[in-house]
Structure 1
């Protein structure tokens, strides 16, 4: 299982055609709002007429965000029969009525966005492995209103029938979710909007952003009815963008990373040859045919011949010189980092009752992942979509912690250099310069036009956990519509 690929697949068999026939205002169905009490908890229930979606949520649970005066909402968006997606929304700590709106998605595919909320950039964290959360001074909601969503259905607190089986089929669900969200919370319409994600976000970040912009164009032309999403930013850290580039990066990073070599020079040569003779042809067949079977075969081939052996010691069927955690090569595989304290917290009945959760929390269940694996989604490149998003003019940052192996910065840089836009030549020629936060070195970066790349020093896969000050500065700069710059 490649949990590099942290994805938000939400599956709803809705398409833009569902919104293609506007109804005269005097005949349009009306939204409905009601209030119910269940198991001692008060819920707001909002039924969105345009999409048929229903939102049921708790207001100000007192869990996680305890900053006085900062509102939060947690609950479910039902997008079909037995299809319930979990969300947790936090207002900005400063000027929420004017602050931008951003979403955060973890992946897997099939890993909960509660990972990001509690371990990375949410309003609270479990400092030093504590058993209870405390306020996170570097939370992204110090700057923006933040929305975390568990998808695909079956992930985290989401429950019910999961219909998504690929990144492309997931995009309409995410758009529909936001349409219903705007209808319930109209005060956030027309705010600057950003997508931030990691890992498998290298797939769905570009696809979802591109889909949103296509829907915006259709809304403008009158062929789709909906709320324009004012997309201004896309940020993807340690993303899985393009398998051809990134399987090669496994070989190169294993030998040439700046921490400790995982393989020898001879093994580097051997696995480079294996990559060229076995992995690349399989990926080319996937690309040329586009079939699920060819792409699934490519995924299995490249894993068995490249990823699997390089990430395991000889005792475990691999060739790695030492045991390591694929999310942080400085740590052993038996001691995953960061600590998983938060997941035990989310299993407490008092917590789940307070936030309105109806399902038992599961961080990375197999079922959603398996649906994507069956379509070979992992083996498909999303550089075309990423290029389209950069070409649209919004600020885009590709960034990576340099201790991560599974979606390492070698592959991230290769993907960034392969993006096609007006600044491609200048971007490829640009050197990596020092990136500082208040004068302290945090990494190296380059930026041309609206496209940015950043290598973050001393960070594993979950960059905001390791380098929270760097992460918050990156978030503010990209969400603010400007390029990365040292401070």
Structure 2
């Protein structure tokens, strides 16, 4: 199908659109508007009572000839503006799947993933302007980067989101408005990739999308079904009860350098069992904000904070000292440039990980809440699910991610637990080790910190390309 040309329609044109799965006809309007000196094409989406404000082909980041891009805002509710940036696939965009990328936090911008990890451009050797990234994931998929919740990155306005569960509907609404404005993507296979706090976001958002699909199919909801076929989460935070203890084992037994000795590990383990574990059990049993907030604070006090203070290491890459993090933040300086912001339609000052959004999630105790049950539910639906982790990361280390993977409840859980790790190679070179059972895979990536595609771009691209082809990952 040819790409939609609705963004080219004159301001006076009103487009009548029928939403599939319902006989109700919505009148969706296309117009133009100037805000802060920026010209937007505006698409009113009646089904979700929202609008898309779009700038087309800014020339920023993706400069491959013929590859189109769109950026701007989903506006929903009273002064609620969620920023997104979309890039067509470099190869066969008319048939390539659609992938959404979300960074974690909670409260961190997906511009991190775009510029530091897997987007069409990157900053090499601290250059002040970006250059094309040959390992960009839009080599194989149309890519959509979303700054969520509101208040993160370039998103701005009133922010009612204070938990993972309350964030999900807004991402779904953005996708609904996107599909209606770009109908050529409605029937495409959809992939959701995320990292870090994406261990919460990924399972919850995937489960929400699948629930909405069922409601659309039963005609109790008006909307477009989202053809979710895979979920990928690298270095995710899923389940505190499992992953808090992994801080201790990883600090002692990781393959790079011991951060603590055996005596200290025993002491930390005793504190975990005496204080942290019971508090997390109380969070799970009561599910109150107060209990989960308290559990998070207790575990930080007896495990997390003392371990971080015990040595000089970067929690995102233990190979580096704490005061010399990598990757550099060059991209953030670039996004503060007013010319760049105007070109992409950004109307706010860029905030990579604003404290205010994090604090809202902290107040509801969201971090301590387990999303292992939601992850199990999603795996049970049969879509391809990959948990992968760079093995130099401490904050969401591979020990904990593998323990979570082994705890996922699905029909082939026993086979998955028993399966040995086998070498994962890229062009014959060992880049990690993995195991699979059915539609579920775990992968450890060697020599990679928290942002796996930054440290091992070739490996990450191979993994991603295999996932979007709906095949289990395999060595080459």
TM over 0.5: yes
**Number of equivalenced pairs:** 457
Q: Are 1:194 and 2:210 counterparts? A: no
Residue 270 of structure 1 aligns with which residue?
Answer: 267
2-side partners of 1:60 and 1:480: how far apart? 27
| Equivalent residue for 1:444, pick from 423, 429, 433 | 433
Give the structure 2 partner of residue 373 of structure 1. Answer: 362
Report the counterpart of residue 483 of structure 1 in structure 2. Answer: 472
Paired with 1:368 and 1:204, the residues of 2 have a C-alpha distance of 15
TM-score under structure 2 length normalisation: 0.95
Note the 1:73-88 alignment, pairs <5 A. Answer: 73-88=70-85
Alignment partners' CA distance in 1, 2:35 and 2:200: 38
The 5 Å alignment of 1:71-220 reads 71-220=68-217
Q: Quote the residue 1:431 is aligned against.
A: 420
In 1, distance between residues paired with 2:469 and 2:371? 25
Deviations 1:31-55 (A, max 9, x none): 0001234555432110001111111
Quote the residue 1:346 is aligned against.
335
SS in 2 for 1:337: coil
- Which residue number in structure 1 is paired with residue 235 of structure 2? 238
**After the TM superposition, which residues 26-105 of structure 1 pair with which residues of structure 2 at under 5 Å, given as runs?**
28-38=25-35, 41-105=38-102
Partner of 1:337: 326
Cα separation, 1, equivalents of 2:34 and 2:356: 32
Q: C-alpha separation between the residues in 1 aligned to 2:35 and 2:291? A: 49
Q: Secondary structure at 1:31's aligned position in 2?
A: strand
Question: What is the deviation of 1:24?
Answer: 4.9
- Aligned partners of 1:24 and 1:111: how far apart in 2? 39
Shift of residue 484, structure 1, vs aligned partner? 1.1
Distance in structure 1 (CA, Å) of the matches to 2:279 and 2:197: 20
1:462 to 451, 454, 460: 451
Q: What per-residue deviation string (whole Å, max 9, x for no partner) do you get for residues 132-154 of structure 1?
A: 10000000100000000001111
**Cα separation, 2, equivalents of 1:39 and 1:226:** 32
The answer on whether the counterparts of 2:268 and 2:303 sit within 8 Å (CA) in structure 1 is yes
**Cα deviations by residue, 1:186-216 (Å, 9 ceiling, x for unpaired):** 1110100000000000001001101111111
Q: Deviations over 1:72-123 (max 9, x none)?
A: 0010000111100000000000000000000000011000000000000000
TM-score by length of 1: 0.92
Structure 2 distance, partners of 1:230, 1:23, is 18
Q: Which residue of 1 aligns with 2:12?
A: none
Q: Runs of 5+ in structure 2 lacking a partner?
A: 1-18
In 1, the alpha carbon distance for the partners of 2:52 and 2:219 equals: 27
Other structure's SS at 1:350 match: helix
C-alpha distance in structure 1 between counterparts of 2:125 and 2:135, whole Å: 15
Spell out the pairing of 1:377-416 with structure 2 (5 A cutoff).
377-416=366-405
Question: Residue 22 of structure 2 contacts residue 219 of structure 2 at CA under 8 Å; is this kept in 1?
Answer: no
User: Are 2:291 and 1:294 aligned?
Assistant: yes
Residue aligned with 1:396, SS: strand
Task: List, as ranges, runs of 4+ consecutive aligned residues in structure 1 with deviation greater than 6 Å.
Answer: none
Within 2, Cα distance between the matches of 1:131 and 1:119?
Answer: 13
User: Residues 263-313 of structure 1: CA distance to partner in whole angstroms, max 9, x if unpaired?
Assistant: 01000000001000000000000011000000000000001110000011x
CA contact (8 A) 2:111 2:147 kept: yes
The aligned counterpart of 2:277 is 280
Question: C-alpha separation between the residues in 2 aligned to 1:170 and 1:42?
Answer: 29
For each residue in 1:325-368, what CA deviation from the matched residue of structure 2 results, as whole angstroms up to 9, or x when unmatched?
Answer: 00000111111110000000000111001111100001000111
DSSP 3-state at the match of 2:90: coil
- Deviation of the 1:387 alpha carbon: 0.7
